[in-house]
Amino acid sequence: MSWQQRIDSALEQRRTNDSFRIRQVNEQGSGRYLVQNEIRYLNFSSNDYLGMSHHAEVIQAWQQGAEIYGVGSGGSGHVTGYHQAHQHCEQQLADWLGYPRALLFISGFAANQALIAALTEKSDRIIADKLSHASLLEAAMHSPAQLRRFAHNDVQSLQTLLAQPGDGQQLVITEGVFSMDGDAAPLAEIARASRDAGALLMVDDAHGIGVVGREGRGSCDQQQIKPDLLVVTFGKAFGISGAAVLCSESLADYLLQFARHLIYSTAMPPAQACALTAALQVIRRDDARRRQLQANIAHFRAGAEKLPLKLMASQTAIQPVIVGENQAAVNLASTLRERGFWLTAIRPPTVPPGTARLRVTLTASHTREDIDLLLEALYDATR
Ligand SMILES: *Cc1c(COP(=O)(O)O)cnc(C)c1O
């Protein structure tokens, strides 16, 4: 098969099973509203859980940072790209989360790839929750270590895998809140099982950080554990982008030697680090945003449970409505779109076959009325 034939056939396959992905251009899209072709939609697809993407203090911090440092970092952090703004942000993050060190990464995807690649050797085993994010599973598959997946949130299944002896080390991977189902991991039990087996524990809290825990410290604070490696990302509740890894002194020094995504990549713009620090201050002090989000989640659940909808057992901002077939999910999304709601249909391979869904994400920017309007539209579209 030639290159062109291979590419055409892969595209054709995606088209025939209704899983062809496209991007759409928005005039606006991170907050409560999404504007496309001059039409304004209520946005129930954004990960901007706390409505931080348009926060005046954060915007101002980014602008001031750009005036001080310029718009780019100028290089890898290992050469000249590590500025005071990065160091200050890392210190604030480490203080907040109670770790000796924090290291900034350009994205959560990069952080997960870097950590898994830097840590694992051929004789090791990575034991990851079956529903772990693509950035984790993909890195694990590319690593020289063996990947074993435990049944979703099933500590017994994890323990069974941990008990199988091997020559190397074991790395346990899970998430605070799962991105497609919105459910939380039993972190305390997972931490205990990992510790008992002498395994290293890595928790990716992309969807929990900022949203739950005291001062928004996330799922690990909420469940009172401290994993060896905590990955937090800033594209969701922080409303920006980027990520940080929280860990011990020695692990941080180790990553600075061996994490190739840090060494061979331009450091994030220092102005972005200024914005992250400003967002962190707001997130710590502004409990009202978290309360508003929790109230919105409760309001959606109470209303949706009265409708003939297939919901999941999620108590978080991620509220999937399971539809089943790909085309049916796409049709439901487009019916809702005609009525002014922006929701994304999530299809395999992102989720298991036969579980195509609408992924409703709630934020602190939504009002009760926004949610009531969505529930009415869902009722009309599915009855
Ligand atoms: C979004 C997400 C990531 C990727 O983070 P980015 O900063 O967007 O690259 C990683 N892990 C999980 C669980 C996520 O939901």
Residue 110 CA: nearest ligand 1 atom is 9
Residue 177 CA: nearest ligand 1 atom is 13
Output the six-digit token pair for 274. Answer: 């200024």
**Judgement on whether residues 256 and 324 belong to the same structural domain of the protein:** no
**Judgement on whether residues 276 and 309 belong to the same structural domain of the protein:** no
pLDDT digits (tens, 9 = 90+) for 134-145: 999 999 999 999
Mean pLDDT to the nearest integer, 6-23: 90
Give residue 41's domain range: 21-50+287-382
Tell me which residue of 327, 374, 318, 322 sits closest to 351, measured CA to CA: 322
Position 185 pLDDT exceeds 80: yes
Mean residue pLDDT of the chain comes to 96
Contact, 341 vs 377, CB < 8 A?
A: yes
Tell whether ligand 1 has an atom less than 6 A from the beta carbon of residue 203: no
Output the six-digit token pair for 137. Answer: 């599973």
Mean pLDDT to the nearest integer, 29-45: 95
**Judgement on whether residues 30 and 73 belong to the same structural domain of the protein:** no
Tell whether ligand 1 has an atom less than 6 A from the beta carbon of residue 176: no
**Judgement on whether residues 38 and 72 belong to the same structural domain of the protein:** no
Which CATH number fits the domain that encloses residue 373? Answer: 3.90.1150.10
**Judgement on whether residues 35 and 61 belong to the same structural domain of the protein:** no
In degrees and rounded to multiples of 5, residue 326 shows phi and psi of -55, -50
User: How far is the C-alpha of 111 from the C-alpha of 99, rounded, in Å?
Assistant: 17
**Judgement on whether residues 43 and 76 belong to the same structural domain of the protein:** no
**Judgement on whether residues 92 and 131 belong to the same structural domain of the protein:** yes
Catalytic residue among 83, 86, 133, 261: 133
Give the CA distances from residue 315 to residues 14, 235, 299, in Å, rounded to whole numbers and listed in that order: 33, 21, 11
**Judgement on whether residues 279 and 298 belong to the same structural domain of the protein:** no
pLDDT band at 24 (very low <50, low <70, confident <90, very high): confident
User: How far is the C-alpha of 375 from the C-alpha of 200, rounded, in Å?
Assistant: 43
Residue 2, in any domain of the structure: no
Tell whether ligand 1 has an atom less than 6 A from the beta carbon of residue 244: no
Residue 361, in any domain of the structure: yes
**Judgement on whether residues 155 and 303 belong to the same structural domain of the protein:** no
Residue 1, in any domain of the structure: no
**Judgement on whether residues 263 and 125 belong to the same structural domain of the protein:** yes
Residue 12, in any domain of the structure: no
Residue 234 CA: nearest ligand 1 atom is 7
Catalytic residue among 132, 143, 179, 296: 179
Residue 8, in any domain of the structure: no
Active site residue 47: yes
State residue 166's pLDDT score.
82
Mean pLDDT to the nearest integer, 240-266: 97
Residue 241 CA: nearest ligand 1 atom is 7
Tell whether ligand 1 has an atom less than 6 A from the beta carbon of residue 149: no
Number of domains forming the structure of the chain: 2
Share of the chain above pLDDT 90, in %: 91
Residue 270, in any domain of the structure: yes
pLDDT band at 289 (very low <50, low <70, confident <90, very high): very high
User: Which range has the worst mean pLDDT, 51-55, 254-258, 279-283, 352-356?
Assistant: 352-356
In degrees and rounded to multiples of 5, residue 315 shows phi and psi of -105, 10
State residue 54's pLDDT score.
95
Residue 9, in any domain of the structure: no
State residue 22's pLDDT score.
87
State residue 74's pLDDT score.
96
Residue 101, in any domain of the structure: yes
pLDDT band at 18 (very low <50, low <70, confident <90, very high): confident
Give the end of a domain, one of 285, 307, 336: 285
Residue nearest (by alpha carbon) to ligand 1 atom 2:
206
Mean pLDDT to the nearest integer, 275-300: 98
CB atoms within 10 A of CB 87: 14
In degrees and rounded to multiples of 5, residue 126 shows phi and psi of -100, 125
Active site residue 207: yes
Give the end of a domain, one of 263, 285, 307: 285
Report the separation in Å between the CA atom of 135 and the middle of ligand 1, taken as the mean of its atom positions.
Answer: 7
pLDDT band at 349 (very low <50, low <70, confident <90, very high): confident
**Judgement on whether residues 158 and 255 belong to the same structural domain of the protein:** yes
Tell whether ligand 1 has an atom less than 6 A from the beta carbon of residue 133: yes
Residue nearest (by alpha carbon) to ligand 1 atom 10:
108
Give the end of a domain, one of 241, 270, 285: 285
State residue 272's pLDDT score.
98
pLDDT band at 355 (very low <50, low <70, confident <90, very high): very high
**Judgement on whether residues 171 and 277 belong to the same structural domain of the protein:** yes
Active site residue 179: yes
State residue 308's pLDDT score.
87
pLDDT digits (tens, 9 = 90+) for 321-339: 999 999 999 999 999 999 9
State residue 350's pLDDT score.
84
Tell whether ligand 1 has an atom less than 6 A from the beta carbon of residue 359: no
DSSP-based three-state secondary structure for 62: helix
Contact, 320 vs 357, CB < 8 A?
A: yes
Which CATH number fits the domain that encloses residue 188? Answer: 3.40.640.10
Is the bond into 100 cis (omega within 30 degrees of 0)?
no
